[in-house]
Chains A and B, each alone.
Chain A
Amino acid sequence: MDKKRKITVAVTGLNAVDSPGPGIAVIRGVRDGKDYEVHIIGLSYESLEPGIYMEGMADKTYQIPYPSAGSEALLNRLEYIQEKEKIDVLIPNFDAELYNFIKLSPKLREMGIETFLPTAEQFEARDKVNLFAFCSKNNFYVPRDKTIYSTSELPGLVKEFGYPLVVKGKYYEASICQTLEQAQKAFHKLEAKWGLPIIVQEFITGTEINIAALGDGTGTTISAVPMRKLFITDKGKAWAGVTLEDQSLVDLAKKFIKVTKWKGGFELEVMRTVDGKPYIMEINPRFPAWIYLTVGAGQNQPEALVKMALGQKVKPYDKYEVGKVFIRYSWDMIIDIAQFQQVSAFGEN
């Protein structure tokens, strides 16, 4: 029997907390793959990201600079890491860090690190700020929205959209507001946390559905799995969810990939109205935290992404199991202070 090729995969998003990053789910998918012997390098921002310490996940973790430090600082750090680890594939999992990784991807390739990311244009087109224009142009249902820089614009939007108003942060978080005061409060809170602009969106009533999908960069859909949240945290995150059978949702993801020639993983957040119209509420340019459900349902998206990043041809998945449920849980790990100290003081463990 042939010996499996050894590969090293670096993954960010190890913050497996109540509003989790996708890193741990991505690692589990990659580790479940059958074709490679995988060595995992975790890339973290904080010393207390649980994924650093979880057994059987990252073999070694390095801290990397926050996205706000810029791409040069990130590159310097990755050069240091690459000298030691010889990373083959790097999978970034945060919206806020993606721009830097996309920008650096040619340099990373020169260093021997492959990524499988959308282009800067694809990344920008689906940004919250451009979502309405992008969806309108490509005939997707989308709620009306407006990008604003001051609370003085809110009263006009109340007249235009009515209540409730959805007030959204540039990268993350949203508040559903029933009064002008609530909207103003949400504006200031989101501005302080994520900066300007703030996006104000029309509220659409319906069933919230999420689709995790993977495009090969030429317009072909490698995988698309729709999920409905069964239990939602106060931060709006899925704590449990179930795979759905609905070809129209899979077709929606396929249409998105065809139109954009999307390269990499992404998540469509959809609100399906009573009359069946799928409104695109948001497009996240990376795998969602629930991506391991796609593995459980028979479509291992993280594994497929790694293969494509390594230049392998991947056959599109054509079926998945409906009615597969994921349930997240919390777990207290016990570690020694020395482990924490190692990460905290030296930025690696």
Chain B
Amino acid sequence: MKLYANIAVSESGYLFNPMNGDSFSTNPVATDIIQQLKEGKNIEEIKKFLFAKYDVEKPTLERDIDEFMNELKDYYLLDNNG
């Protein structure tokens, strides 16, 4: 799964979807996930990256990432064909 290529992401994690005009502010963890997605990392690689960076239990991390990915899908930010 990938972010749509034309989603604009600022360094501070502000997202703009040029296809429907939606924009979002994200917290630092979400910004990390989005940056990783932008770099083409897969879910497993992102989980590994976050686990190394943050002090978090693995099940909590997995659940949070799954929830966040679903949110991205709900807001039409993920390219299912990507």
Contact = CB atoms under 8 A, between A and B. Distances in A.
Interface of A: 207, 209, 227-228, 230, 241-242, 244-246, 272, 322-323
Given A245-B6, A323-B8, A228 B20 contact: yes
B52 interface: no
Looking at chain B's contact residues, the main secondary structure is loop
Interface string B6-47: 101000000010111100000000000000000000000000
Contacts of A242: 21
Contacts of A323: 8, 16, 18
Q: Which 4 interchain pairs have the tightest Cβ spacing?
A: A228-B21, A245-B18, A322-B18, A242-B21
Contacts of B16: 323
Nearest to A245: B18
Contacts of B20: 207, 209, 228, 244, 246, 272
A260 B6 CA distance: 32
A242 B22 CA distance: 9
A34 to B, nearest CB: 28
A167 to B, nearest CB: 27
Contacts of A207: 20
Contacts of A245: 6, 18-19
Contacts of B8: 323
A32 to B, nearest CB: 24
Most-contacted residue by chain A among B6, B19, B20 (CB, 10 A):
B19
Contact of B19 (A227, A241, A244): A244
- Contact size range, B: under 10
A42 to B, nearest CB: 33
A241 B20 CA distance: 11
A294 B16 CA distance: 19
A207 B34 CA distance: 25
A307 to B, nearest CB: 29
Given A230-B21, A241-B21, A246-B19, 16 more contacts: A207-B20, A227-B21, A228-B20, A228-B21, A242-B21, A244-B18, A244-B20, A244-B21, A245-B18, A245-B19, A246-B18, A246-B20, A272-B20, A322-B6, A323-B8, A323-B18
A201 to B, nearest CB: 23
Contacts of A241: 21
A3 to B, nearest CB: 41
A230 B6 CA distance: 19
Nearest to B6: A245
A207 B20 CA distance: 8
A208 to B, nearest CB: 10
Contacts of B18: 244-246, 322-323
B17 to A, nearest CB: 9
Contacts of A228: 20-21
Nearest to B20: A207
Interface centre among A207, A209, A272 (most CB of B within 10 A): A207
Contacts of A227: 21
A55 B79 CA distance: 48
7 contacts: A209-B20, A241-B21, A242-B21, A244-B21, A245-B18, A322-B6, A322-B18
Nearest to A242: B21
A337 B21 CA distance: 44
A242 B21 CA distance: 6
A146 B6 CA distance: 40
Nearest to A246: B19
Interface string B36-74: 000000000000000000000000000000000000000
B7 to A, nearest CB: 10
A248 to B, nearest CB: 9
A227 B19 CA distance: 10
A326 to B, nearest CB: 12
A246 B19 CA distance: 5
A207 B21 CA distance: 10
A234 B8 CA distance: 30
